[in-house]
């Protein structure tokens, strides 16, 4: 495959062939359900995951509506307990854990590597089917009486309650395997499918982030698997590992559970940070600052995340020594995150900043994740955590990092790669409106929760004392505003699929390889073999007013040129 | 520095308990001052860094906004000195935070030697506090200015005892004892919550901590403990009914709660879950208290805990008399 | 740079790989990562074993007497042999010795079934003796007078085990419940045998009975069944994989350069064998 002239590469890209992309190659439901194309799998995941987010969001709104008044509002206590459990379980197991890796990761990772697919496409499809099956089994629990244990399933309550715990935990177990296989696939892909010239320190930071996430997925999720299996065995057979009445230890369950679930939160945030590195560079039109430090900080977070699970258990009765060790280690994991934030800011310095919608989300991330991360300091310190544990302060903290962090970054990434996925541009004006509504609504919803938490409002409370009413009401009204923001976002994104302007190959000026192919890409991803250069060499691009996109000043520079056959 | 000045100001206020602030409720225990100080210290650091990040971000957005035709200015893509600076300074800060957090925790988890010991039983969904003389109450009465040590266990699932005003919290676990301690510095009444989700009425599992002024605690305890001698059986039964957790699930005004109402049931027929029926007499009441699973009322869940070993015969008699009074009998 | 002209016509080479070498290495890395996840999966159970054994060694010393070392050792030898035969199968596939390949896989299957058979014998013995996991633990003790219907109460109970430390220990000395489990929400949890001064429960029974079975002996059997059960499920999985290999071999899938599937199944099988060896050591050979 030779290249004749520098200009031929751009012209030869199949952007103009309307039928020659992955969306249109092969029709019918079965061609999607049995596809091996990572891009189609990514899109199917996107549909599933966004639906799960919607479902989890509905539960959240029901919870918040119940909390409009101090007493019973629209449901009984038992129903309320099921609502918050389902909100947590659906959001965590169906939405946020698969979240960015399964959707954007699946779609973008091979493209960034100039590859034709992930290393193990059939395993990828299996991951998706497992996600679907796990989701069905988990959601079936709703019909079977739902679960009222909280998403943490603490024993002995979870082993003795009459609700559909087995269905939900079995669903989560299956979903865990989906997560493991996705992580496994990404590890092999990053190790084996990098193109010519892409050494480890020439990979895009998005790849570093997804890779670090995959390490956690692979090492931590099996522990969740065995924990859930033990829970199911406890309920069905009475194996007595966690039940004090049978000689077991309920606090052991907490150790098992959090050994996975703490690393799990880094499964949630690392991909978000990975997206941030891309957005910060591209929308500042400037090389990323501190590449190596950002890359290593992802690995550091992955490693350190396994050492801090006990900070969820400071009041559980574990020893003072354990408390001390976990507290000290917890602070260590804050440092790499801070390093990333400073490097992103430095990327903006002397940049040329465009405030397109993806960048608005990136800036929101900086604001919201900073609050989320800093409030983690209060919780890592022993003396303050005793007071704040199991209050709304914790609820606010994790929503700031998971929602204000991960979901916001997910939205940023979705808006960034939307043109690549679907070949369409969305309305920038509505994009800004949506981002603003979400930003304001989010803060109103969750900032109030910090204050009521430090004032002593415990979490998972159906009724509450009168003095907390103003906070709860403000929070609920904020949640309605937040939901409105999402309705707006869903609206214009869906609209863009049918009426959006056709997207150029590279609308934003990114230097990573996915922007070298058409929007949307053909099934085989690239028309030519790609050569990896510096993924942040933004300087090598210039804006082309004709296509309303960016092109390489030297198109041949990214192609693996060959002479002869 | 702002932090140190704040510390100076706080220490004036911290001679007694702490006043409430935007963030915290009034703190009346000896540890509250340290907890609040640490909270404010971390808050100061957090606000500083948050403003630093957001202000810099905003300034950059304004200063380096994309202008038509102009790209980014040339600048370094990395700077090791900068990286080290913004790594090392946070490391020092978090080490300081950790140190004060740990130090405060050591105080919070080590009870003084002469602490007054009260046993705590958590169960779904009420608290029982057993005083050294054996008296059991559903609220926590303590003397002011005296360390109090709580020795706690659960009868069923994990609960957590939380008193925001004292800044204390400790999980209450079945099958083992856990401990907490505090010393209250101001008389008054304070809320005690359950802080570990435990089922249907988790949010109803609230008790009151009554801190008695000097000299009054002993008087209260004596009066309360002798209620069987000093009160009529009906009044004693009513008190037991209220403090031993019965009211949590059984109303006396006709409303059905987790358990059936006990208004007007004594002496009448009660339908049972297995289809039969029984007359609510002294025997049935006693059996229901000691073996609640034996004859469950129709339409209700079998969730009542047993009071075997927890109620004396004289107390059961008093409760029976009280229930009779609710039917206009006796 | 690799030449693509020959490779791309190789029917075994998936379209997204540059070369058969890349494809093989990807499969191998993938399988190794999978094995790591399996180690972590079992790791949880090994951790539970470690915690309970550290806190209550007497339970393990008591319980392991009920495991037949001879059968355990036999099973260990059987699995080690099966690892040999499956490794031989890989070699046979490499050398395109399809008949030997099929023979070796079949022998491995024989070993696997033998293993499961022995486990069935062990499990059924425990079933009849009532030596099951916690809730179903109802030991039938033969008093020598032909009384086979001994109830749990007739099993000699020890005085409260002295091995419990104070604050924070796993102190949950409930009576082993009979087969009808504790009714929900009815607490039958006794307070810890060791509590703070003034609250400790008096030692039950005065300790004058013969000290035989420690409190919570059922925990050993819970752990035994959980660990060997999970391992057994993995053996079944391996059996399924080997039947699939036989089917592929019949179909003519394997060749000198294309034996990845056999290699991968063999790797998995070796891990299954290795885990069993640890189980044998930790459950059967306790001193």
**Are B163 and B213 part of one and the same domain?**
yes
Across all residues in chain B, what is the average pLDDT? 90
Contacts of B81 (CB under 8 A, 6+ apart): none
**Are B122 and B221 part of one and the same domain?**
yes
Q: Does C240 touch chain B (CB under 8 A)?
A: no
Using CB atoms, which chains have 3+ pairs under 8 A with A?
B, C
Q: What is the pLDDT of residue C273?
A: 96
Q: What is the pLDDT of residues B147-190, one digit of tens each?
A: 999 999 999 999 999 999 999 999 999 999 999 999 999 999 99
Residue C15 — very low, low, confident or very high, per pLDDT cuts 50/70/90?
confident
Tell me the three state secondary structure of residue B181: strand
Instruction: Specify whether the CB–CB gap between C156 and C213 falls below 8 A.
Output: yes
Q: What is the pLDDT of residue B70?
A: 77
Per the domain annotation, does B69 fall within a domain? no
Q: What is the pLDDT of residues C215-266, one digit of tens each?
A: 888 889 999 999 999 999 999 999 999 999 999 989 888 887 788 999 999 9
Residue the block writes with tokens 């934003």: A508
Q: For position A147, which CATH number holds?
A: 1.20.210.10
B124 Cα to chain C: minimum distance (Å): 9
Q: What is the pLDDT of residue C203?
A: 35
Chain A residue whose CA is closest to C5: A565
CA distance A276 to B291: 61
Please give the average per-residue pLDDT across B310-322, as a whole number. Answer: 91
| Tokens linked to A116 | 């034709």
Q: Taking CB atoms and an 8 Å limit, are C185 and B119 in contact across chains? A: no
Q: C165, C186, C193, C195: which to substitute to probe chain B, counting the most B Cβ within 10 Å? A: C186
Per the domain annotation, does A115 fall within a domain? yes
CA distances from C283 to A119, C212, C227 (A): 40, 19, 9
Using only C-alpha atoms, chain B has a radius of gyration, in whole angstroms, of 28
> Residue C115, Cα to own-chain centre: how many angstroms?
12
Q: What is the pLDDT of residue A12?
A: 43
Task: Out of B79, B176, B199, name the one closest to residue A317 (CB).
Answer: B176
Of the three residues B205, B225, B245, the one that is the final residue of a domain is B225
Burial degree of A467 (CB within 10 A; 0-12, 13-18, 19+): middle
Taking contacts as CB-CB distances below 8 angstroms, the residues of chain C near B151 are 195-196, 199
Q: A116, A192, A227, A235: which to substitute to probe chain C, counting the most C Cβ within 10 Å? A: A192
Q: What is the pLDDT of residues C97-126, one digit of tens each?
A: 999 999 999 999 999 999 999 999 999 999
Q: Taking CB atoms and an 8 Å limit, are A247 and C226 in contact across chains? A: no
**Are B127 and B57 part of one and the same domain?**
no
Q: What is the pLDDT of residue C155?
A: 35
- HEC string of C12-28 equals CCCCCCCCHHHHHHHHH
Per the domain annotation, does A194 fall within a domain? yes
Q: What is the pLDDT of residue B103?
A: 94
Task: Out of B45, B74, B174, name the one closest to residue A250 (CB).
Answer: B174
Q: Which domain holds residue A418?
A: 35-558
A476 Cα to chain C: minimum distance (Å): 35
Q: What is the pLDDT of residue A561?
A: 66
Per the domain annotation, does B73 fall within a domain? no
**Are B211 and B231 part of one and the same domain?**
no
Q: What is the pLDDT of residue A162?
A: 83
Q: What is the pLDDT of residue C217?
A: 87
| Tokens linked to B252 | 């006396």
Please give the average per-residue pLDDT across A456-485, as a whole number. Answer: 97
Residue B70 β-bridge partners: none
**Are B182 and B237 part of one and the same domain?**
no
Q: For position B165, which CATH number holds?
A: 2.60.40.420
Q: Which domain holds residue B240?
A: 227-326
Per the domain annotation, does A17 fall within a domain? no
Q: Taking CB atoms and an 8 Å limit, are C185 and B305 in contact across chains? A: yes
Q: What is the pLDDT of residue B68?
A: 82
Please give the average per-residue pLDDT across A409-413, as a whole number. Answer: 98
Q: Is the pLDDT of residue B91 over 50?
A: yes
Residue A300 — very low, low, confident or very high, per pLDDT cuts 50/70/90?
very high
Instruction: Specify whether the CB–CB gap between A249 and C145 falls below 8 A.
Output: no
Side-chain-facing half-sphere of B72: CA atoms under 13 Å: 31
Residue the block writes with tokens 């702490």: B18
Burial degree of A20 (CB within 10 A; 0-12, 13-18, 19+): middle
Across all residues in chain C, what is the average pLDDT? 77
| Tokens linked to A179 | 């997560």
Burial degree of B270 (CB within 10 A; 0-12, 13-18, 19+): middle
Dihedral angle over CA of B294, B297, B299, B303, nearest 10: -50
Per the domain annotation, does A116 fall within a domain? yes
CA distance C206 to B79: 74
Q: What is the pLDDT of residue A201?
A: 95
Across all residues in chain A, what is the average pLDDT? 93
> Residue B90, Cα to own-chain centre: how many angstroms?
35
Taking contacts as CB-CB distances below 8 angstroms, the residues of chain A near B176 are 244, 317
Q: What is the pLDDT of residue B47?
A: 97
Taking contacts as CB-CB distances below 8 angstroms, the residues of chain A near B305 are none
Taking contacts as CB-CB distances below 8 angstroms, the residues of chain A near B120 are none
Q: Taking CB atoms and an 8 Å limit, are B306 and C186 in contact across chains? A: yes
Domains (range + CATH), chain C? 27-142+160-172+211-284 (1.20.120.80)
Per the domain annotation, does B71 fall within a domain? no
Q: Does B62 touch chain A (CB under 8 A)?
A: no
Q: What is the pLDDT of residue C8?
A: 55
Q: What is the pLDDT of residues A386-408, one digit of tens each?
A: 999 999 999 999 999 999 999 99
Q: What is the pLDDT of residue C252?
A: 84
**Are B127 and B218 part of one and the same domain?**
yes
Q: What is the pLDDT of residue C215?
A: 83
CA distance C268 to C147: 47
Taking only residues 84 to 123 of chain C, the set having a beta carbon closer than 8 angstroms to any beta carbon of chain B reads: none
Per the domain annotation, does A19 fall within a domain? no
Residue B162 β-bridge partners: B169, B193
Instruction: Enter the pTM of the model.
Output: 0.88
**Are B128 and B218 part of one and the same domain?**
yes
Q: Is the pLDDT of residue B2 over 70?
A: no
Residue C9 — very low, low, confident or very high, per pLDDT cuts 50/70/90?
low
Q: Is the pLDDT of residue A238 over 80?
A: yes
Split into its structural domains, chain A has a count of: 1
CA distance B265 to B263: 6
Task: Out of A222, A237, A241, name the one closest to residue C40 (CB).
Answer: A222
- Give first-to-last CA distance, chain C, whole Å: 60
Taking contacts as CB-CB distances below 8 angstroms, the residues of chain B near C187 are 123, 155-156, 174, 305-306
| Residue B2 or residue C254, greater confidence | C254
Per the domain annotation, does A6 fall within a domain? no
Q: Is the pLDDT of residue B39 over 50?
A: yes
Q: What is the pLDDT of residue C18?
A: 87
- Which candidate, A157, A67, A373, places its Cα nearest to that of B171? A157
Taking contacts as CB-CB distances below 8 angstroms, the residues of chain C near A239 are 133-135, 222, 225-226
Q: Is the pLDDT of residue A311 over 90?
A: yes
Q: What is the pLDDT of residues B224-250, one digit of tens each?
A: 888 888 889 999 999 899 888 888 889
Q: Taking CB atoms and an 8 Å limit, are A81 and B50 in contact across chains? A: no
Q: What is the pLDDT of residue B17?
A: 74
A196 φ, ψ (degrees, to nearest 5): -50, 130
CA distance A190 to A274: 15
**Are B155 and B122 part of one and the same domain?**
yes
Taking contacts as CB-CB distances below 8 angstroms, the residues of chain C near B307 are none
Please give the angle made by the CA atoms of B163, A311 and A402, to the nearest 5 degrees: 100
Task: Out of C170, C174, C185, name the one closest to residue B156 (CB).
Answer: C185
Q: C33, C45, C47: which to substitute to probe chain A, counting the most A Cβ within 10 Å? A: C33
Split into its structural domains, chain B has a count of: 3
Taking contacts as CB-CB distances below 8 angstroms, the residues of chain A near C33 are 184, 187-188, 218
Residue A247 — very low, low, confident or very high, per pLDDT cuts 50/70/90?
confident
Q: Does B282 touch chain C (CB under 8 A)?
A: no
Instruction: Specify whether the CB–CB gap between C28 and C259 falls below 8 A.
Output: no
Q: What is the pLDDT of residue C178?
A: 34
Please give the average per-residue pLDDT across B286-296, as a whole number. Answer: 92
Q: What is the pLDDT of residues C143-202, one digit of tens each?
A: 444 333 333 333 333 333 333 333 333 333 333 333 333 333 334 454 444 333 333 333
Among A240-244, A322-326, B214-218, name the one with the lowest average pLDDT.
A240-244
Task: Out of B119, B175, B305, name the one closest to residue C172 (CB).
Answer: B175
**DSSP at C282:** I
Per the domain annotation, does B137 fall within a domain? yes
Task: Out of A284, A292, A461, name the one closest to residue B203 (CB).
Answer: A461
CA distance B145 to C213: 49
For strands B277-279 and B269-271, give the pairing: antiparallel
Among A80-84, A537-541, C133-137, C186-190, name the one with the lowest average pLDDT.
C186-190
Percent over 90 (pLDDT), chain A: 87
| Tokens linked to A151 | 């998403």
Q: What is the pLDDT of residue B7?
A: 52
ipTM score for this prediction: 0.92
Residue B329 — very low, low, confident or very high, per pLDDT cuts 50/70/90?
low
Residue B301 — very low, low, confident or very high, per pLDDT cuts 50/70/90?
confident
For strands B159-163 and B168-172, give the pairing: antiparallel
């Amino acid at each position: 495959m030779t290249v004749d002239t520098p200009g031929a590469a751009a012209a030869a890209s199949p952007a103009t062939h309307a039928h020659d992309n992955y969306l249109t190659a092969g029709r019918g439901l079965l061609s999607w359900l049995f596809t091996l194309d990572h891009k189609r799998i990514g899109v199917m995941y996107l549909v599933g995951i966004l639906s799960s987010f919607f479902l989890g969001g509905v539960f959240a709104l029901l919870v918040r509506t119940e909390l409009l008044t101090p007493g019973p509002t629209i449901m009984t206590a038992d129903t309320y307990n099921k609502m918050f459990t389902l909100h947590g379980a659906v959001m965590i197991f169906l939405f946020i854990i698969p979240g960015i890796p399964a959707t954007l990761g699946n779609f973008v990772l091979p493209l960034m590597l100039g590859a034709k697919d992930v290393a193990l496409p059939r395993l990828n499809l299996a991951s998706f089917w497992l996600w679907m099956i796990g989701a069905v089994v988990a959601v079936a629990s709703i019909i079977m009486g739902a679960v009222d244990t909280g998403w943490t399933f603490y024993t002995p309550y979870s082993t003795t309650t009459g609700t559909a715990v087995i269905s939900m935990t079995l669903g989560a177990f299956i979903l865990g395997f989906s997560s493991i296989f996705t992580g496994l696939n990404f590890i092999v892909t990053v190790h084996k499918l990098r193109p010519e010239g892409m050494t480890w320190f020439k990979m895009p930071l998005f790849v570093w982030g997804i890779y670090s996430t995959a390490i956690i997925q692979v090492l931590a999720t099996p522990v969740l698997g065995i924990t859930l299996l033990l829970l199911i065995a406890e309920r069905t057979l009475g194996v007595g590992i966690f039940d004090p009445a049978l000689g077991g230890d309920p606090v052991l369950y907490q150790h098992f559970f959090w050994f996975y679930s703490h690393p799990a939160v880094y499964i949630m945030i690392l991909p978000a940070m990975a997206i941030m590195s891309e957005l910060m560079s591209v929308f500042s039109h400037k090389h990323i600052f501190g590449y190596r430090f950002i890359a290593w900080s992802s690995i550091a977070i992955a490693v350190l995340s396994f050492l801090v699970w006990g900070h969820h258990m400071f009041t559980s009765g574990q020893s003072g020594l354990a408390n001390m060790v976990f507290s000290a280690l917890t602070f260590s994991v804050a440092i790499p995150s801070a390093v990333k934030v400073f490097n992103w800011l430095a990327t903006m310095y002397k940049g040329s900043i465009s405030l397109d919608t993806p960048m608005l989300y990136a800036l929101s991330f900086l604001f919201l994740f900073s609050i989320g991360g800093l409030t983690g300091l209060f919780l890592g310190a022993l003396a303050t955590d005793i007071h704040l544990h199991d209050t709304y302060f914790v609820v606010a903290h994790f929503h700031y990092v998971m929602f204000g962090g991960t979901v916001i970054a997910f939205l940023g990434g979705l808006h960034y790669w939307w043109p690549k996925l679907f070949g369409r541009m969305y309305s920038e004006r509505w994009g800004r409106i949506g981002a603003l509504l979400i930003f304001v609504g989010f803060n109103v919803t969750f900032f109030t929760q910090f204050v009521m938490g430090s004032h002593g409002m415990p979490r998972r409370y159906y009724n509450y004392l009168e003095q907390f009413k103003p906070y709860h009401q403000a929070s609920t009204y904020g949640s309605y505003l937040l939901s409105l923001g999402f309705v707006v976002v869903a609206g214009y994104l869906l609209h863009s699929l049918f009426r959006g302007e056709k997207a150029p190959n590279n609308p934003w000026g990114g230097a990573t390889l996915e922007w070298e192919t058409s929007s949307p890409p053909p099934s085989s991803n690239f028309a030519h073999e790609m050569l990896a250069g510096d993924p942040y060499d933004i300087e090598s691009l210039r804006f082309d007013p004709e296509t309303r996109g960016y092109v390489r000043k030297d198109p041949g520079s990214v192609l693996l040129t060959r002479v002869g056959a | 520095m702002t932090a140190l000045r704040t510390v100076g100001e706080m220490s004036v206020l911290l001679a007694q308990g702490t006043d409430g602030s935007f963030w915290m409720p009034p703190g009346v225990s000896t540890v509250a001052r340290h907890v609040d100080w640490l909270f404010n210290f971390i808050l100061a650091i957090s606000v500083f860094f948050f403003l630093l990040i957001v202000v810099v971000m905003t300034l950059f957005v304004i200063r380096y906004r994309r202008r038509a035709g102009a790209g980014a200015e040339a600048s370094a893509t990395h700077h090791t000195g900068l990286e080290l600076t913004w790594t090392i300074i946070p490391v020092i800060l978090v080490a300081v935070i950790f140190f004060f957090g740990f130090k405060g925790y050591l105080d919070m988890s080590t009870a003084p030697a002469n602490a007054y010991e009260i046993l705590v039983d958590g169960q779904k969904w009420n608290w029982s506090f057993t005083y050294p003389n054996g008296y059991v109450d559903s609220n926590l009465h303590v003397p002011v200015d005296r360390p109090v040590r709580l020795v706690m266990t659960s009868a069923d699932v994990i609960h957590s005892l939380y008193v925001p005003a004292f800044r204390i919290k400790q999980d209450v676990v079945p099958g083992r004892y856990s401990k907490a301690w505090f010393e209250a510095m101001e008389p008054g009444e304070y809320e005690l919550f359950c802080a570990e989700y435990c089922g249907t009425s988790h949010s109803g599992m609230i008790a009151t901590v009554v801190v008695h002024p000097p000299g009054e605690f002993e008087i209260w305890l004596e009066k309360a403990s002798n209620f069987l001698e000093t009160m009529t059986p009906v009044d004693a039964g009513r008190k037991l009914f209220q403090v031993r957790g019965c009211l949590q699930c059984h109303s006396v005004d006709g409303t059905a709660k987790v358990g059936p109402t006990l208004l007007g049931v004594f002496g009448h027929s009660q339908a049972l879950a297995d289809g039969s029926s029984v007359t609510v007499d002294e025997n049935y009441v006693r059996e229901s208290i000691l073996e609640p699973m034996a004859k469950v009322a129709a339409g209700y869940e079998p969730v009542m805990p047993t009071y075997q070993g927890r109620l004396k015969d004289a107390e059961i008699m008093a409760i029976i008399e009280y229930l009779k009074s609710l039917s206009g009998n006796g | 740079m690799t030449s693509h002209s020959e490779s791309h016509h190789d029917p075994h080479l998936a379209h997204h790989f540059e070369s058969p070498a890349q494809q093989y290495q990807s499969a191998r890395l993938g399988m190794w990562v999978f094995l790591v996840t399996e180690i972590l999966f079992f790791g949880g159970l090994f951790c539970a074993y470690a915690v309970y054994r550290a806190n209550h060694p007497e339970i393990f010393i008591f319980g392991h007497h009920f495991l037949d070392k001879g059968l355990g050792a036999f099973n260990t030898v059987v699995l080690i042999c099966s690892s040999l035969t499956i490794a031989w199968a890989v070699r046979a596939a490499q050398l395109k010795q399809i008949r030997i390949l099929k023979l070796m896989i079949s022998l491995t299957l024989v070993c696997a079934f033998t293993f499961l058979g022995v486990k069935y014998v062990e499990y059924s013995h425990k079933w009849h003796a009532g030596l099951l996991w916690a809730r179903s633990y109802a030991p039938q003790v033969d008093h020598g007078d032909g009384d086979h219907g001994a109830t749990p109460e007739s099993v000699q109970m020890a005085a409260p085990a002295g091995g419990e430390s104070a604050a924070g220990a796993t102190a949950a000395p409930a009576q082993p419940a009979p087969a009808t489990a504790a009714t929900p929400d009815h607490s039958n949890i006794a307070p810890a045998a060791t509590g703070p001064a003034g609250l400790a429960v008096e030692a039950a029974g005065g300790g004058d009975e013969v000290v035989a079975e420690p409190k919570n002996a059922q925990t050993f059997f819970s752990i035994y069944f959980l660990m060997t059960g999970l391992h057994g499920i993995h053996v079944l999985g391996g059996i399924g994989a080997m039947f699939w290999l036989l089917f592929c071999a019949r179909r003519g899938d394997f060749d000198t350069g294309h034996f990845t599937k056999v290699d991968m199944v063999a790797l998995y099988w070796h891990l299954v064998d290795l885990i069993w060896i640890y189980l044998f050591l930790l459950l059967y050979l306790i001193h």
